[in-house]
Chain A
Amino acid sequence: MPERTPVEALTKAAPAPPAGAAALAIEASGVDKTFRIPTNRITSLKERAVRPFARPDYRELRALRDVSFEVRKGEFFGIVGRNGSGKSTLLKILASIYRADAGTISMDGHPAPFIELGVGFDPELTARENVVLNGVMMGLSPREARRRLDAVLEFAELEEFVELKLKNYSSGMMVRLAFAVMIQTDADIFLIDEVLAVGDAAFQQKCADTFHGMRDAGKTIVLVTHDMATVEEYCHRAMLIDEGELRYIGDPEEVAQRYLKLNFERTAEQPEQAFQGQTGQEDARVLRAWLEDSAGGRTSNLERREPIRFRVEVEAINEIPEPSFGFNIANVDEIQVSAFGTHLADGEGMAERLTPGERARLRADIDNILTPGRYRMGFWVCRNRNFNDVVLRVPRVLEFVVYGSVWSVGVVSLEAEIEAQPARGSES
């Protein structure tokens, strides 16, 4: 489990999930879904007529296999997975947009799907007409939709623009309106796909407050996302889907950790790799370079705050007098985060030389305050205790990934104690 930074501690901790005895809102068992992707699609009747017996070729894509889960009433339930993992397909099946090939889904209550904000908005119509139309789409009666118009506009802060056609709205205004319509519906079960990531910061805060409110009011919410901070902040329970299969269901923090691990295992290179780009006079060569995990094994994925245990073995080809080693860490933007250097030392002090064929091992344990992301390490060997006299330079001796669910931007995430309080009576 990651340590909580003060910033995280300020946000509202997820409340205890509703009592275990709460009735089920959704019960899914053995849900299967296969898409048939035509590779040689017959899209015209003409083709059909020319080759009446040609079977279209299909590539089968198994989007979901045997997924079973339950969501209780009043639960904020997260569905997590990488792109193409089947999580959105599952949501669309819950929303009755797709039909499952096998398995059953039962639901207690009226579901409202929010796959995308503003779907069904017509740019040629005014805000008023669109709000009513969307309300009816969500299952309100036209009368009820009209009655709630004011509440919608107030939430969206768009009262003055009620008669303006939507084509004249800015995208920000449109998003605000769409979100406001969404939360005014009478649904018991909200099926939400990544809509949090919209709007400016102020509106996002408003959305966040709304979600907290919905959760505290005991609405059942199913949220599909790949933002782990959201999962940890809001969800009572979550499930991880990968390649159409249910991998884990339960504690959101565990889900987040597993997701991040899964994600980076796929993309990160193997620790052992060719040391491309060796330059210099080739008086030395790198034999091995790796990162060590706490158990002594090799890794290329580090959780945030887990020390970077850098290990290199080099071999001298020619004699290297008074050898020194340098290495650095750079992020994907090629910003050098930090650089280090040391001189070769044996038991008695600084070593005089490395003779041809002689090997040296470098061990470095580095504090990890890096912002989650991808990094590379560079490594070089110098002589005469002079870091400008390079005999070997390997710009990319290894790559690694730092993962963690902390929201941060920048190169490093520094420890901080932050508080914000209303300042009363202290104005000068």
Chain B
Amino acid sequence: MSGAAASSGLRKLRGPSAVGGGWRRFFDLLYLIAVTDFKKSYFGTVLGYVWSLARPLMLFAVLLAVFTQIFRVGDDVPHYEVMLLLNIVMFGFFQEATVGAVTSVVGREGIVRKTQFPRVVIPLAIVVTSLFNLALNLIAVLIFVFAFGVEPTWTWLLFPLVVAALLVFTVAVAMLLSSLYVRFRDVAIIWTVLVTVLFYGTPILYPIEIVPETIKDVILVNPLTPIFEQMRLWVIDPTAPSAVDAADGLLLALAPIAVYLATCVLAVWVFNREAPRIAEEL
């Protein structure tokens, strides 16, 4: 018996990992799970899509009333209504995806513990499902954009960049939260609070120009701020300050980018570190 030939096909097992099992299977699974989850949320209820649209629209209506009739924040802001709606829809995506992702890995315990499954697919599928919802909601936003007479410009073509930037950050946060939740169950509570803080700490309800200097630095460090700033500039109001202009200073312009990148690196590191042990921790 030729030992060399016999063992030539043997490959060493490397154990469970975030992506294990090959990229093709990874993307097949991601797509299938996201699509089926998406279908489930709409075909289960009669008015599925209506409800998913109703939530941001209701919030929009209430906030619009408060901030144009009571606080009058929007008076001097061109197309305040459209900006508010677009911001709410975009932040809604971030919120839905991250809150959903927190418990996702634990929620699919059976799969994690009893099959060889690329773990990172689980939070990613939640994000992709939310992305489908976002796409549907953006159609509604587009109607508002035209209804309120926003001028189309060539910079609309840059909108996918904004979505991409937000998507990457959302994925990072989703990975981070879902892997931490396996060990620390209060991550869920902490995140619901933090996400509210982020909602007010991002220029969603207000334009960045009216933020007083006292707290402006805090908001400028928020990695979501430049994303929403650029979106406003490119899509709604060509006269709005760009993220760099708003930051008054290169250092403050780079700060959110640093936070953004740090979050991504941390997420990948933590998830990779936790992935092999998730099945045992559950």
Contacts and interface: CB of A to CB of B under 8 A. Distances in A.
A143 to B, nearest CB: 10
Nearest to A191: B116
B68 interface: no
Given A124-B40, A129-B36, A106 B12 contact: yes
Interface string B1-25: 1000111011111111000111011
A296 B276 CA distance: 54
A106 B15 CA distance: 11
Size category of the A interface is 35 or more
A106 B9 CA distance: 9
Contacts of A104: 12-13
A364 interface: no
Contacts of A24: 6-7, 10
Contacts of B277: 99
Given A45-B186, A139-B21, A115 B115 contact: yes
Given A27-B7, A27-B10, A46 B186 contact: yes
A107 B11 contact: yes
Contacts of A58: none
Interface stretch (A3-11, A90-98, A410-418): A90-98
B185 interface: yes
Nearest to B9: A108
Interface in A1-46: 20-21, 23-24, 27, 35, 43-46
B76 interface: no
B44 to A, nearest CB: 7
B238 interface: no
A97 B32 contact: no
B195 interface: no
A45 B16 contact: no
Closest 6 CB pairs of A and B: A99-B15, A108-B9, A106-B10, A115-B114, A44-B186, A23-B6
Interface of B: 1, 5-7, 9-16, 20-22, 24-25, 28-29, 31-33, 36, 40, 44, 110-111, 113-117, 183-187, 190, 276-277, 279-280
Given A23-B9, A98-B16, 4 more contacts: A96-B20, A98-B279, A99-B16, A104-B13
27 contacts: A23-B7, A27-B10, A35-B280, A43-B185, A45-B184, A45-B190, A48-B184, A93-B15, A96-B14, A96-B20, A96-B116, A97-B16, A97-B116, A99-B276, A99-B277, A107-B10, A108-B9, A108-B11, A113-B115, A115-B114, A116-B114, A122-B40, A129-B36, A136-B28, A136-B32, A139-B21, A142-B31
Interface of A: 20-21, 23-24, 27, 35, 43-46, 48, 92-100, 104-109, 111, 113, 115-116, 119-120, 122, 124-125, 129, 132-133, 136-137, 139, 141-142
